[in-house]
Amino acid sequence: MLSLKLPRLLSINQVPKGYQEQGILFGYRPPRSSAADCLLSVFQMTNETLNIWTHFVPAWYFVWTLVGRLRGQWGQEDPHSWPLLAYLLTCCIYPLASSCAHTFSTMSTRARHICYFFDYAALSMYSLGSALAYSAYVFPAEWVGSTFHHCYVPVAVFNTLVSTSLSCYSRFLEVERPRLSKASRTLAFMYPYLFDTIPLFYRLYQCTAQSCSEAAILLHYRHTGFAFLTCFIFASRLPESLAPGHFDYIGHSHQVFHVCGILGTHFQMEAIMMDMAQRRDRLLLPTPLLPSSLQTLCSMGICVATSLAVIGLCSLSLRFMPEPLQREKPHGH
- Arch. (CATH architecture) of 31-284+291-318: Up-down Bundle (1.20)
* Mean predicted confidence (pLDDT) in 172-196: 91
* pLDDT score of 316 more than 70: yes
Higher pLDDT, residue 245 or 284: 245
* Percent of the chain with pLDDT strictly greater than 90: 70
Quick one: pLDDT at residue 251?
Answer: 94
- Alpha-carbon distance of 157 to 131, in angstroms, equals 9
* pLDDT score of 141 more than 90: no
- Alpha-carbon distance of 24 to 300, in angstroms, equals 37
Other C-beta atoms closer than 10 Å to the C-beta of 178 total 15
* pLDDT score of 104 more than 60: yes
Q: How many helices (H) and strands (E) does the chain have?
A: 11, 2
Residues belonging to the chain: 333
330 pLDDT band, cuts 50/70/90, is very low
Quick one: pLDDT at residue 4?
Answer: 65
Least confident of 211-215, 268-272, 290-294: 290-294
333 pLDDT band, cuts 50/70/90, is very low
- Alpha-carbon distance of 165 to 210, in angstroms, equals 41
Using DSSP, state whether 256 is helix, strand or coil.
Answer: helix
Quick one: pLDDT at residue 149?
Answer: 92
* Mean predicted confidence (pLDDT) in 159-168: 96
* Mean predicted confidence (pLDDT) in 310-325: 81
Using DSSP, state whether 110 is helix, strand or coil.
Answer: helix
* Mean predicted confidence (pLDDT) in 58-76: 85
Quick one: pLDDT at residue 42?
Answer: 94
2 pLDDT band, cuts 50/70/90, is very low
Task: Show the beta-strand stretches assigned E in the chain.
Answer: 10-11, 26-28
Least confident of 208-217, 260-269, 316-325: 316-325
Higher pLDDT, residue 244 or 280: 244
* pLDDT score of 129 more than 90: yes
324 pLDDT band, cuts 50/70/90, is low
292 pLDDT band, cuts 50/70/90, is low
Asked if 26 and 333 count as a contact pair (C-beta separation under 8 A), the reply is no
Domain residue spans of the chain? 31-284+291-318
322 pLDDT band, cuts 50/70/90, is low
* pLDDT score of 108 more than 50: yes
- 115, amino acid identity: C
* Mean predicted confidence (pLDDT) in 126-150: 92
Higher pLDDT, residue 290 or 168: 168
* Residues 18-37 pLDDT 10s: 899 989 999 999 999 999 99
* pLDDT score of 51 more than 50: yes
Quick one: pLDDT at residue 320?
Answer: 73
* pLDDT score of 288 more than 60: no
Quick one: pLDDT at residue 282?
Answer: 66
Please compute Rg for the chain using Cα positions.
Answer: 21
